[in-house]
Structure 1
Amino acid sequence: MYKLFYYPRNASWAPHMLLAEMRLDYELVLVDRKTEAQKNPEYLKLNPTGRIPTLVVDGEAIFESAAICLWLCERHPDKNLMPAERTLARAKFYQWLFYLNATLQPELMMYFYPQKHSADPLTHAAIKQTQQARVGDILSLIDGELTDKEFLLGNQISACDFLLFMLLHWASGFDKPPLAYTNLSRFMRSFSQRETVKKVCEIEGTLLGIYEIE
């Protein structure tokens, strides 16, 4: 059985949804960020970065959300959440997984935590404004990619889509949120209706009302 150390709507959200989608046996362990439990010595033994998530299996700990998702896909190829080896589709899978993890997520983190990038409080508002524009460019790119597609890789769902859903939800409070983009809006509204997504959101206490079709 897998053991996922999580906190609602943190980076653990994507692997949580993926575990549910794969219908794997897993246990959830809440890491309470409100009390900075991710900095506790016992947790740091599992994840020395002091971040969430961590996946424990067979006594070994794995951290980094995208790495966990990729490894689960490799370990359970029968779940068909990653294209076949040595195909162009597999290359596209890697492309989008790494782009979301290494480009979109860091830009969002800079927006949410400007104090970590400048010691001057007077610059924080400017950083957030700049990041909205930078993230907006990324959202426009992905919106274009989703033209005439149900998922990032076409009509076949993959682990990339769970990571995308998580990151887009994080940006829901932007001046121009993902729901303001034609294809991103369609993707989010449709994806939020998946039974596994709804199940995980119920467990984590995440409301999906903003994605209801008007």
Structure 2
Amino acid sequence: MSVPALTLYHNPQSRSAGARVLLEALGVDYAVVPIDFASGQNRTPEFLAINPLGKLPTLVHDGAVVTEQVAITIYLADRFSAGKLAPALDDPLRGPYLRWLAFYGACFEPALVDHAYKREPVVPSAAPYRDYDTVIDMVATQLARGPWLLGERFTAADVLWGTALRWTTGFGIVPKLPAITGYIERASALPAFVRAGEKDAALMAELSAASAAG
């Protein structure tokens, strides 16, 4: 029996949830190494040797380590679904696709952290993302054009944003605006999201049982 070349270090209650959905959407063979936060598996020397930040998602492909949500999204979609879930280099949607992936990491997440910790926004000229309200308004406005982030075409960017918005609205960090909740509902109904959710529910049960036993 061959060993999958792709290995995802994963915990369903982390940012790696989106990476698992993407792997399901791509239909590739992959292995999962569960990381139990309760027992500190993300801080072991073995895991820190792979990702010194001790963060998820962490992906290993044929010995090469890929971290950071946006990098993993770009890498997997280009490597296994170029021209489908990832617009080709000469596709007019390639620029907007990359724009919204970069916006996620450079603007959305930092703005949410500032908002969650009630940090005062810096002056607009110094902030790479201006402020939280502007970021949320931009996202909601883009999604209102729907049904997907780039209009009629579903891409790997929707996997990233769909999982992230489902998570952040659930915690109350992002408001449940109609354009955002409608988008989450459409994404969550897709087969890859459903499959990943079922597998993650089973994994969480295993992690909980192992924690209770030991």
TM-score normalised to structure 2 length: 0.79
In the TM superposition, what is the alpha-carbon distance from 1:78 to its structure 2 partner?
Answer: 4.9
Taking only the aligned residue pairs, the percentage that are identical comes to 26
Q: How many residues of Structure 1 are paired with residues of Structure 2 in the alignment?
A: 189
Higher helix share: 1
Contact 2:8 2:31 (8 Å CA) reproduced: yes
Tell me, in whole angstroms, the C-alpha distance in 2 between the residues paired with 1:149 and 1:161: 11
Matched with 1:165 is: 162
CA RMSD of aligned residues (A): 2.2
Q: Secondary structure at the match of 1:56?
A: strand
- What per-residue deviation string (whole Å, max 9, x for no partner) do you get for residues 111-139 of structure 1? 55x4xxxxxxxxxxx43x97xxx544322
Residue 141 of structure 1 pairs with residue 119 of structure 2: no
2:76 counterpart of 1:80 = no
CA contact (8 A) 1:73 1:82 kept: yes
Report whether the alignment pairs 1:90 with 2:75: no
* SS across alignment from 2:89: coil
Whether the 8 Å CA contact 2:70–2:105 is kept in 1: the answer is: yes
Q: 1:51 to 1:111 in 2, by over 3 A?
A: farther
Distance 2:104 2:184 in 1: 16
In the alignment, the residues of structure 1 paired with residue 42 and residue 171 of structure 2 have an alpha-carbon distance, to the nearest angstrom, of 27
- Distance in 1 between residues matched to 2:143 and 2:167, nearest whole Å: 19
Q: CA deviation at 1:173?
A: 4.2
- Is residue 39–residue 50 contact of structure 1 (8 Å, CA) maintained in 2? yes
TM-score w.r.t. the length of structure 1 is: 0.79
Whether 1:107 and 2:111 are equivalent positions in the alignment is yes
Deviates more, 1:157-166 or 1:18-27: 157-166
Distance in 2 of aligned mates of 1:140 and 1:160: 18
1:65-84 CA-to-partner distances (Å, cap 9, x unmatched) read 11111011111235711112
Moved over 6 A (4+): none
Query: CA contact under 8 A between 1:11 and 1:53: conserved in structure 2?
Result: yes
Match of 1:27 in 2: 31
Query: 8 Å contact 2:8–2:59 — kept in the other structure?
Result: yes
Unmatched runs of 5 consecutive residues or more in structure 2: 122-130, 203-214
